[in-house]
Structure 1
Amino acid sequence: MKRDSAGSGQKALHLVLLISNLPDDKDAVTAALDYWTTRETEFPIIASAKALEILRRRNQWRRIIQVSKWMVSKGQVLTMGTCDTLLLALDRDDRLEEAEELRRMILQTNTRHGGDWRAT
């Protein structure tokens, strides 16, 4: 298990390095993210979440948004932690309407399923 954790950390760092120096172009970032997963048999969800955390510590808000939206486009469900990071990134990137829309969606989903989003 420790080896898997270290492996996902290395994958996360590789992802961050891969996208950090790209131009601010959605297609370039998406292509790099797609390339990053080409050798994976399963979607690297743990590595992706760790990469989002690294990007958050580096204040790379736009990259967080791009990676999060890419994850969703690949059919991945964002955890409450990654949603929280995405909300923060949208706020910091002055995309308040998108942040409010995401917040409403989270509340509706958790209300519909009887969950308490604050406890997650």
Structure 2
Amino acid sequence: MKRDSAGSGQKALHLVRLISKLPDDKDAVTVALDFWTAWETEFPIITSAKALKILRRRNQWRRIIQVSKWMLSKGQVLTMGTCDTLLLALDRDDRLKEAEELRCMILQTNTKHGGAWRAT
């Protein structure tokens, strides 16, 4: 179990390095992320979440937004921690309208499903 956890940390660093080298273009990041997961048998949710934490420590707000939205487009449910990070990134990138829309969506989803959140 510890070995898998350490491996996901290395994969997360690799992902951060990969997307940090890209131009600030949504499509370029999406293509790179799709390529990154192309050979995975399961979606690398733990690795992606760790990458978001690294990006948060580095204040790479646009990359957080890009990765989070990509995760959502793949049908992944964001945890409370990743939603918090995405909301912070939207705020720091002066995208307050998007942040408010996301917050409302979270509240509606949380209310409809009886407060069912995935904990981080």
TM-score range, shorter chain: over 0.9
- Following TM superposition, the consecutive aligned residue runs of length 4 or more in structure 1 with deviations greater than 4 angstroms are none
Q: Take 1:107 and 1:43, find their aligned partners in 2: how far apart are those partners?
A: 25
Cα RMSD, aligned residues only: 1.5
Task: Spell out, residue by residue over 1:28-85, the C-alpha distance to the aligned partner (whole angstroms, 9 max, x if none).
Answer: 1111101111221111000000000000000000000000000011111111110000
Equivalent residue number for residue 86 of structure 2? 86
Percent identical residues? 89
Equivalent residue number for residue 56 of structure 2? 56
Equivalent residue number for residue 67 of structure 2? 67
Structure 2 residue runs of 5 or longer lacking an equivalent are: none
Equivalent residue number for residue 106 of structure 1? 106
Q: Take 1:38 and 1:9, find their aligned partners in 2: how far apart are those partners?
A: 19
Structure 2 vs 1, CA of residues 116 and 48 (structure 1 numbering), >3 Å: closer, same or farther?
Answer: closer
1:76 aligns with 2:82: no
1:11 aligns with 2:20: no
Q: Take 1:9 and 1:116, find their aligned partners in 2: how far apart are those partners?
A: 27
Q: Following TM superposition, by how much is the alpha carbon of 1:102 offset from its aligned partner in structure 2, in angstroms? A: 0.4
Q: Take 1:7 and 1:38, find their aligned partners in 2: how far apart are those partners?
A: 18
Q: Take 2:33 and 2:43, find their aligned partners in 1: how far apart are those partners?
A: 11
3-state secondary structure, aligned to 2:8: helix
